[in-house]
Structure 1
């Protein structure tokens, strides 16, 4: 199999890398965190100019026409910068919901605005009791005439405080943990009955708690009585992008650690000259390359048409990438010593992003249990 990038893919990768190198130094990132939005509107506009916000959409709808590999390349560069912009929530997650669940008319109305940077989306799925179970939904959606009225609370909506529209999972029928009876709805974030409380997450991103009180949905995405398969598909695409982002962050954490080992002096010599620490750095590299292989696997497996097989593949991706991220992050902290624990040094910020990345949509331990319960990635003979 040929893993070489095409000329267009290399150009995309280089363009994103150049943008972030110019606009996303560590001190610049700290300044972005202090703004009202919690990220850079200037960088967001430049991402739109490069076509990154229309990346997964068809060209005839105003998009870039990119696929899973292009998404992976962009995500990896964003991970290297531990970027704060709502690219994952708007372009990857929101884009997948629109491509797989929206009507052509709705896509025609929203995609050009997303591509131009004028519309941001957020996925309101997590509830206080749901943990990692996508089917654990208490928020209700009641039929009212030709539409639906939503009531409920969502606890961890990434970039939910700056999004113009929310994509909300709500129950149209059945009990709290039934697989059927879950719908996906598009909601105006500023509609009557929507209350949002924004906050900063541990890795510097923004999120919100969202309360819905008799909120009328603007549109239904997919089947309102059986929307869980759509949610599963979107989350699998998000996991593939998160894997790329984690690899980018791990690469920088590893590079920073090796550079530090070459300069930090102890007993009159660089600590990188000690064999035990060289072994640790080598183990970090092995973990990084294992995660990189799984991120490439994710970009291929996300197109699997069998939902059960696709979910197993993404579970395996989550396990390896999560374990690698934990190891690389922890070792980078240990090898840097006390300086890594300060807010003024970048190393700890990469570890925080890797930790949050691992927890999104289920951590490594969660997916080990999932694979155990479903017979593993490869069935025994």
Structure 2
């Protein structure tokens, strides 16, 4: 498949660009941050996004979604990355929708997909248990009890975990801590009395939370996917998240580069525009080529998710590694080329730097995915 958007996808991109530029620009993130909004996003804006079909972008039309696929989700995420738009799109419309639509039972789909599509229910994925992304390392326990299970343990760095209505928790039902088998996903109510949520302020002014679960009783009906074989479903959910997060990182890279090149054309030093200095031109040219390669890698991963979901996981890892490295380069160069003022709050490039620092670590940074791909190839 050609690495270009279809006409419909281009129209979605243009519509998203116009809407977000007007309604959710960087200044909106500043306002959310400065007002210490407890949600970390505008719920009224989220309802507008849902009304436009964004909340159900990958959900089938039978459940009220727009069924625009992962490329469509990536198109929206890229524009959100350009504007640093804060919303539960990633946690709910990508992770939650993927989990329920691909791995949920008919009953779970009936109960949740429509409410995802209309923006009324927020989801969060609880997988990591330490400071680094290790999805196979699951100590969180699900102990068999009668016809159900007792959940106990802790999870960290849960995107939108403090505002979610539903939690998807990866728990160990059998085996040892690092076994791929013996992992099961559970879909539970986030407001259960046995769940303690601790809001964790992030440097990028986004939502995250840690949770501690103490003897939460669940039934077999709460299992998402297959008992003891949940790692395959978890890998699918994470891969979708990685690809869409890569699109956001790509958008942030592009916007940081655009801001920087405009600055190079305006800033004067020694009586000349600094953009005329050959050293800065070489650095800008290098970054431009990295951004273009990243855009291709990201689009390929999204296309594969739509066309052959189960075979797309390695490509999603590749896209996450490339987009994370490029986004870090783009924002670091933005800071460097702006000089000392680049790190001040007056300039937006510092906000892009902070968001990229968090997003590139979520679900594995470049080092994690390079190592993962190398092991997959037998090294």
Shorter-chain TM band: over 0.9
Structure 2: 5+ residue stretches without partners:
none
The aligned residue for residue 47 of structure 1 is: 49
**Cα offset, 1:156, TM superposition:** 1.1
The aligned residue for residue 159 of structure 2 is: 158
Residues 1:250 and 2:246 aligned together: no
The aligned residue for residue 332 of structure 1 is: 334
Aligned-partner SS, 1:352: helix
The aligned residue for residue 322 of structure 2 is: 320
Query: Over residues 147-183 of structure 1, what are the superposed CA-to-partner deviations in whole Å (9 max), with x where a residue is unaligned?
Result: 3221000011111000011110000011111111100
Query: Over residues 326-364 of structure 1, what are the superposed CA-to-partner deviations in whole Å (9 max), with x where a residue is unaligned?
Result: 211111110011111112321011112122121111111
**Cα offset, 1:110, TM superposition:** 1.1
Query: Over residues 206-229 of structure 1, what are the superposed CA-to-partner deviations in whole Å (9 max), with x where a residue is unaligned?
Result: 101100011123611001211000
The aligned residue for residue 89 of structure 1 is: 91
Preserved CA contact (<8 Å) 2:63 2:117:
no
Aligned residues: 375
Residues 3 and 297 from structure 1, CA distance in 2 versus in 1: closer, same or farther, beyond 3 angstroms? Answer: closer
The aligned residue for residue 362 of structure 1 is: 364
The aligned residue for residue 102 of structure 2 is: 100
- Please list, as runs of the form range in 1=range in 2, the aligned pairs for 1:130-209 lying within 5 A after superposition: 131-209=132-210
Which range moves more in the overlay, 237-246 or 211-220? 211-220
Preserved CA contact (<8 Å) 1:263 1:270:
yes
**Cα offset, 1:306, TM superposition:** 8.2
Which range moves more in the overlay, 278-287 or 214-223? 214-223
Supply the distance in 2 between the matched residues of 1:323 and 1:281 (Cα, whole angstroms). Answer: 16
Supply the distance in 2 between the matched residues of 1:347 and 1:284 (Cα, whole angstroms). Answer: 15
The aligned residue for residue 279 of structure 2 is: 276
**Cα offset, 1:15, TM superposition:** 2.2
Query: Over residues 81-102 of structure 1, what are the superposed CA-to-partner deviations in whole Å (9 max), with x where a residue is unaligned?
Result: 1111111010101111001111
The aligned residue for residue 290 of structure 1 is: 293
Preserved CA contact (<8 Å) 2:184 2:224:
yes
Preserved CA contact (<8 Å) 1:186 1:217:
no
TM-score normalised by L of structure 2:
0.94
Residue 266 of structure 1 is aligned with which of 262, 265, 269? 269
Aligned-partner SS, 1:211: strand
Supply the distance in 2 between the matched residues of 1:103 and 1:319 (Cα, whole angstroms). Answer: 33
Supply the distance in 2 between the matched residues of 1:304 and 1:133 (Cα, whole angstroms). Answer: 27
**Cα offset, 1:4, TM superposition:** 4.5
Supply the distance in 2 between the matched residues of 1:2 and 1:25 (Cα, whole angstroms). Answer: 31
Supply the distance in 1 between the matched residues of 2:160 and 2:327 (Cα, whole angstroms). Answer: 23
**Cα offset, 1:3, TM superposition:** 4.3
The aligned residue for residue 371 of structure 1 is: 373
Aligned-partner SS, 2:360: helix
Query: Over residues 246-279 of structure 1, what are the superposed CA-to-partner deviations in whole Å (9 max), with x where a residue is unaligned?
Result: 1110110000000001111101111111111111
Supply the distance in 1 between the matched residues of 2:374 and 2:3 (Cα, whole angstroms). Answer: 31
Preserved CA contact (<8 Å) 1:153 1:211:
yes
Structure 1: 5+ residue stretches without partners:
none
RMSD: 1.8
Aligned-partner SS, 1:302: helix
Preserved CA contact (<8 Å) 2:50 2:56:
yes
Preserved CA contact (<8 Å) 1:187 1:216:
no
Supply the distance in 2 between the matched residues of 1:231 and 1:30 (Cα, whole angstroms). Answer: 34
**Cα offset, 1:290, TM superposition:** 1.1
Preserved CA contact (<8 Å) 1:290 1:324:
no
Aligned-partner SS, 1:53: coil
Residues 1:13 and 2:13 aligned together: yes
**Cα offset, 1:14, TM superposition:** 2.2
TM-score normalised by L of structure 1:
0.94
